[in-house]
Amino acid sequence: MNIRSKIHLCLTVSFLLISIVINTSIYFLFYSITTNDKLNHVRLQAENIAAVLKPVSNERYIHDILNSRLPLNGMIRVVNENSHAIITVTEDEQLTNFKPAFTNSQKVELKSMNGIQYAVSNLPIIWHNGNIMMIEVTASLASSYESLKILKLVLTVALLIVLIPSYLAGRMLSNIMLKPINSMIETMEEIQRKSIFKKLELKSQSKDELYKLGSTFNKMMDILAKNFEKQQQFVSDASHELKTPLTVIESNASMLKRWGMKDPALLEESVDAIYSEAVRMQEMTKQMLMLANHDAEWNLDIKKVDFVSLSKETSKLMKNAYGQHISVYSPFDRVLGNADRQKMKQLLFILLDNALKYSTSPIELNVGYEENDVFFTVKDYGIGIPKEDIAHIFDRFYRVDKARNRETGGTGLGLSIAKQIVDSHGGSIKVVSKEGEGTEFTVMLPI
Ligand code: ATP
Ligand code: MG
């Protein structure tokens, strides 16, 4: 059963149940009012008869009075203390089948015979001869129940009539509710069929659950589209970046094939070119693989790390390789934070490598605490980064000016790896740079 039919069925059934409860309550309310009315009526009649009979002693006259007060389809009896009816007035002989029973207190009750109910009132009185007698008035409820039967019929018909609009309203409501869902399903099916990233049209003005569902779906589509775009970008960037070294290798190899073997100078030049491009490609594929792995999963080995000793150790390694001076400053002997030591070392390598590549003066490395974070800055006084490029330097393969980078031989992946490392630690990386003056990278990591 689809949701639409379920909603429809639920609404109709609940409406039906509510109507049945209301109609039944109305019926029983009327039933109880009618019955009480009748019981009251016979009680008053018995009292009235008693009052009228009090001064009368003539038997004939008593009969006349009782006859004149006989209820329709009813009976009046005078019962003595032995429960014998001494006078009975009725048009319906069957009613005499009710056994007379003397009571010495006033009483009203319901009795039934052959499916018909009767209201019976008993009232003791002092008879003209001084004995105690009981006046019994019996009245049929048949006529009152006739109108209750009509009421029952009216209520049943009303119930059936009400069912039609409730059925239609349920149908309309389920349609209104499911229309946006159906349009979502259509769009999703289209996305599946055509393999495109399409968003849902959200018309609803009220920010209801369906609107939220739609906007969540749209946000998800955005993320998917963005990721897909990034992936496409990465693939095209990667193939583009690999094309250059491959072309260099290919052209040098074909040159070698033709003349290289005879010309030692050309041979050396070509082999050098092939070697350096091969090394660059190796480095690039290594970094690309790492990035791809990082995208999939980060297995961090988080431990307490002393950033002062880590900075000193790393900068010493770099100093030896580049022969350029790096100073480490910190107001503390130890700056402790929770991080993956290997990843932090890699991060420092990337930042120091850039600082060393793009400057010639000494480099400053500051380590310390700020509020709940550990921070370190790598500052150089080199060529700096143009304003318009700052926003892109963390993108994969982005290099500010290909010409100025050719000699430094970068791949443009360093900072994007750095950003991933910082992100995986829940930290942030910022850069302040001015062309011709220098650059400062600041990394903040929560302790
Ligand atoms: P790779 O690090 O992958 O070998 P790369 O250094 O060119 O190559 P990134 O480290 O990602 O790539 O840096 C991106 C670009 O940002 C660099 O090409 C460079 O132009 C610029 N850049 C980064 N750091 C500095 C810096 N300290 N001074 C000046 N420019 C910088
Ligand atoms: Mg770099």
Tens-digit pLDDT profile for residues 377-436: 999 999 999 999 999 999 887 888 754 555 566 778 889 889 988 998 999 999 999 998
H or E segment to which residue 431 belongs? strand 428-434
Query: What's the DSSP call for residue 380?
Result: E
At position 313, the amino acid (one-letter code) is: E
Query: Considering only CA atoms, which residue is closest to atom 4 of ligand 1?
Result: 410
Query: Using CA atoms, how far apart are residues 382 and 432, in angstroms rounded to an integer?
Result: 13
Taking residues 95-113, report their average pLDDT. 91
| Span from the CA of 345 to the centroid of ligand 2 (angstroms) | 14
Q: Is the dihedral of CA 394, 391, 403, 358 positive or negative?
A: negative
pLDDT at 260: 64
Helix (H, G, I), strand (E, B) or coil at 397: coil
Residues 6+ apart with CB under 8 A from 367: 307, 308, 311, 328, 329, 330, 332, 335, 374, 375, 376
Tokens 């048009």, residue?
A: 91
Report whether pLDDT(59) > 60. Answer: yes
**Tally of CA atoms within 13 A in the half-sphere of 393 that contains its CB:** 23
Residue 44 CA, ligand 1 centroid: distance in Å: 110
CA atoms in the 13 A half-sphere facing the CB of 162: 18
Q: Which of 399, 401, 406 to mutate to test the pocket of ligand 1 (most atoms within 8 A of CB)?
A: 399
- Rounded mean pLDDT of 73-81? 93
Residue 388 Cα, ligand 1 centroid: separation in angstroms? 14
* Contact between 339 and 305 (Cβ < 8 Å): yes
- Ligand 2 midpoint to CA 227 (Å): 24
3-state helix, strand, coil in the chain (%, to 5): 55, 20, 25
Ligand nearest the Cα atom of residue 287: 1
302-306 vs 85-90, strand pairing mode: unpaired
Ligand 1 atom at shortest distance from the alpha carbon of 409: 4
- For the CA of 384, the nearest atom of ligand 1: 29
| Ligand sitting nearest the alpha carbon of 418 | 1
Q: Is the pLDDT of residue 207 over 80?
A: no
Fold of 209-295: Helix Hairpins (1.10.287)
Give me the pLDDT at residue 438, please. 94
Answer with the residue of higher pLDDT: 402 or 100.
100
Give the CATH superfamily of 301-446.
Histidine kinase-like ATPase, C-terminal domain (3.30.565.10)
Q: One fold for both 209-295 and 301-446?
A: no
The residue-averaged pLDDT of 307-332 equals 88
CB-CB contact of 446 with 427 (8 Å): yes
Q: pTM score, two decimals?
A: 0.49
Q: How crowded is residue 133: how many other Cβ atoms within 10 Å of its Cβ?
A: 22
Which listed ligand is nearest to 353 at the C-alpha? 2
Mean pLDDT of the chain: 86
429 Cα–ligand 1 center, Å:
14
Domain ranges (residues) in the chain: 3-150, 209-295, 301-446
Assign domain 3-150 one CATH number from 3.30.450.20, 3.30.390.30, 3.40.50.1110, 2.60.40.1180: 3.30.450.20
